[in-house]
Amino acid sequence: MTCTKCETFCTSRTQIVEPDLPEFGRPCRVLVVGEAPGADEDVQGKGFVGRAGRTLHALLEEHGLHRGVDYGCANVVRCRPPENRRPTKGETANCLPYLAGVISTVKPKAVLAVGDTAAQAFMGKPGLMENIGRLHHANQCPRRFLEQGSVLDMKWPFGTRLFIMPHTSPLAWNRNAPDGRKWSEIGREQISRMVQTL
């Protein structure tokens, strides 16, 4: 399926990277949602296939979750932005109805937002650690935060929980979070929290 809604993406992308779901009709227990395809994803036409993706899959496998079996992968926008910049508000708004449609059809038990851009697309505000805290206090229910009438509000399935983890690029470089902990520690904690609810 082609799309020409974002003029810039029509020239920055090689191809549209569609979400991939578990094979053979298996239920999608978790849908991982990243920011946007990067260089490797743009060439291969599949999300999370580069270095950051490999870090992510290793972490999920530590917790017994396997790509194509237990979880699928999507991005907030389906096209690689130029120079790997963050997608703009307009680009996100163009692509979000598509992602919302996938979530409402697949009805995963959990959506795992990877990084601040994905978290912000769901929660409406920036601030990774703040959004992690807000969701935790709301029993991982994003419906409390979704703006009334937004595509996500209309399509978010009852019972699907939202978890947020740091983006896997700082994880891969073993960087520290503002609270002094390693981003990887926060990522592992969020994944364990999610696995307990599956």
Q: Which tokens hold the place of 3? A: 């799309």
Q: Which tokens hold the place of 119? A: 């978290």
Q: What is the closest distance, in whole angstroms, from the C-beta atom of residue 118 to ligand URA in the complex?
A: 7
Per-residue b or e along 63-98, where b marks 16 or more CB atoms closer than 10 Å to that residue's CB: eebebeebbbbbbbbbbbbeeeebbeeebbebbbeb
Stretch (H or E) spanning 31: strand 30-34
Q: Which of 47, 72, 108, 170 binds ligand URA (CB under 6 A)?
A: 47
Q: Which of 6, 16, 29, 48 binds ligand URA (CB under 6 A)?
A: 48
Q: Which of 52, 79, 110, 165 binds ligand URA (CB under 6 A)?
A: 52
If binding is defined by CB under 6 A, does position 81 make contact with ligand URA? no
If binding is defined by CB under 6 A, does position 42 make contact with ligand URA? no
If binding is defined by CB under 6 A, does position 19 make contact with ligand URA? no
The total of other beta-carbon atoms located within 10 Å of residue 160's CB is 19
If binding is defined by CB under 6 A, does position 38 make contact with ligand URA? yes
122 CB-side CA count, 13 A = 36
If binding is defined by CB under 6 A, does position 116 make contact with ligand URA? no
Query: Residues 147, 153: contact at Cβ < 8 Å?
Result: yes
Angle among Cα 148, 99, 160 to the nearest 5 degrees reads: 65
Q: What is the closest distance, in whole angstroms, from the C-beta atom of residue 136 to ligand URA in the complex?
A: 22
If binding is defined by CB under 6 A, does position 37 make contact with ligand URA? yes
| Site map 122..161 versus ligand URA, x via CB under 6 A | ----------------------------------------
Q: What is the closest distance, in whole angstroms, from the C-beta atom of residue 198 to ligand URA in the complex?
A: 22
Q: Which of 22, 28, 31, 41 binds ligand URA (CB under 6 A)?
A: 41
Q: CA-CA distance, 146 to 156, in Å (whole number)?
A: 9
Amino acid at 197: T
Contacting residues toward ligand URA, per CB under 6 A? 34-38, 41, 47-48, 50, 52-53, 75, 114
